Amino acid sequence: MLRFLFRRILGSLVILVLLTVVAFLLFFGMPRDPALLMCGKTCTPDALANIHHTLGLDKSIPEQFWIFLSGLVTGRDDFAQGPCPAPCFGYSYHTNEQVWSTLMDRLPLTLSLAAGATVVFLFVGLGTGLLAAWKRGTLVDKSFTAGSMVLSSMQIYFLGPLALAILVYQTHIFDEPDYTPLTDNPAAWFTGLIIPWAVLSTIFAAQYTRMARSSMIEQLQEEHVRTARAKGMSGRYVFFRYAWRGSLIPIITILGIDLSSLLGGAIITEYTFGLPGLGRLAVESVQFSDLPLLLGVMLFAAAVILLCNIVVDACYAFIDPRVRLS
């Protein structure tokens, strides 16, 4: 298991380096000069050259790449804005802030949003899915299935404003969504995020309802599940110990994908509710051709995805002994 983890982490690092290369090349392939954006309307060739120099853009691309990579590991102090400790992604072209600290500023919100929504959609989605599978063919099953169809075809930019209109602006049950750090005020943290969580998890939960239901029904038809019944195990025991165990594999696969995209930044949700998370940061960095920030957000999201993949694979091994040995 340790060797497996070690191999996977090493592989992920290689992928991250390759991604950085690609992002670098793409950025310089773009017919757009970030220095021009900073230079303003009264730009002279001298001023432009000056900006190029301060940004390090006058060096060759491989040289810039090497400086960037080594900065990640050792930190840099060749910036006009001041020293940049490791992991150094440089300073944003646009805000002149350190990229890493900007990322770390935005991360708690994204983390809170993802964690809260995940708890809710797993609980609700899997719960209703299991209940639908248990009561297969009954009214409960049919209404859950129909409901999840409707909800999973909803979009955040539709449900979100709707929830805001009803719950905030009309009835004033909740305040407008706002982020307060958990460590500052847990109650405010909770009430500020409750609507985004609800909306985000409504859409995700519906998917999980359908998936849990269908994979449970599939598992319940497995022969080994019938064997378990044939040896006298109770319906509930067979359902939770035998069928559920097998259903976990597809659920965890999808959960890994969903989690990694949520942690990389729920762009639409953050825009809908005006929350400044990693998703918004990503969009802003693209808008301003802010290479250091863009690289930072992208590498961070990629690292999260790779990490989720490793965790999912480790879960497979935990659930299914056949994976463990090979």
Partner 1 sequence: MTTLTKEAGAPVPSDAGAFLSVRDLHVSFRTEDGMVRAVDGLSFDLERGKTLGIVGESGSGKSVTNLTILGLHNPKFTTVEGEILLEGRELTTAREHELEKLRGNKVAMIFQDPLTALSPYYTVGRQIAEPFMKHTGASKKAAWDRAVEMLGKVGIPNPKERAKDYPHQFSGGMRQRAMIAMALVCDPDLLIADEPTTALDVTVQAQILDLLKDLQQEFGSAIIFITHDLGVIADMADDIMVMYAGGAIERGTTNEVLRSPQHPYTWGLLNSMPRLDSDLAAPLAPIPGAPPSLLNPPSGCRFHPRCTFQDRVGGTRCTDERPLLAPDRASACHLTAEQKRTIFIEEIKPSLG
Member of 246, 277, 292, 296 binding partner 1 (CB under 8 A): 246
Q: Which stretch binds partner 1 (CB under 8 A): 152-160, 198-206, 242-250, 292-300?
A: 242-250
Q: Which of 3, 41, 172, 322 binds partner 1 (CB under 8 A)?
A: 322
Q: Which of residues 14-33 bind partner 1 (CB under 8 A)?
A: none
CA distances to 112, 187, 195, 252, 265 from 107, rounded to whole Å, are 8, 19, 19, 24, 9
Peptide bond into 161 cis (omega under 30): no
Contact 68, 90 (CB under 8 A): yes
Phi-psi map region of 265: left, alpha, beta (phi>0 left; psi -120 to 50 alpha): left
Of 229, 283, 284, 309, the one binding partner 1 (CB under 8 A) is: 229
List 222, 274, 286, 287, residue binding partner 1 (CB under 8 A): 222
Q: Please name every residue paired with 76 in a beta bridge, in sequence order, or none if there are none.
A: 84
The nearer residue to partner 1, 163 or 225, going by C-beta atoms, is 225
Do 129 and 216 meet the contact criterion of CB atoms below 8 Å apart? yes
Residue choice 149, 226, 274, 287 for contact with partner 1 (CB under 8 A): 226
Q: Which two tokens stand for residue 205?
A: 């939960």
Residue 235 beta carbon to partner 1: minimum distance, rounded to whole angstroms: 7
Residues in the interface with partner 1 (CB under 8 A) total 23
Picking from 74, 17, 85, the residue whose alpha carbon sits closest to that of residue 298 is: 17
**Which residues face 32 on adjacent strands?**
none
Site string for partner 1, 282-321 (x = CB under 8 A): -------------------------------------xxx
Question: From the centroid of its chain, how far is CA 250?
Answer: 19
SS3 84: strand
DSSP state of 225: H
Q: Residue 27 to residues 18, 38, 109, 286: CA-CA distances in angstroms?
A: 14, 16, 28, 10
Residue among 41 and 231 whose Cβ is closer to partner 1:
231
Asked whether position 134 contacts partner 1 by CB under 8 A, the answer is: no
137 binds partner 1 per the rule CB under 8 A = yes
Binding mask 81-120 for partner 1 (x = CB under 8 A): ----------------------------------------
By CB under 8 A, is residue 218 in contact with partner 1? no
Q: Cβ 133 to partner 1, closest distance in Å?
A: 14
CA 240 to chain centre: 30
The footprint of partner 1 (CB under 8 A) covers 137, 222-235, 242, 245-246, 319-322, 325
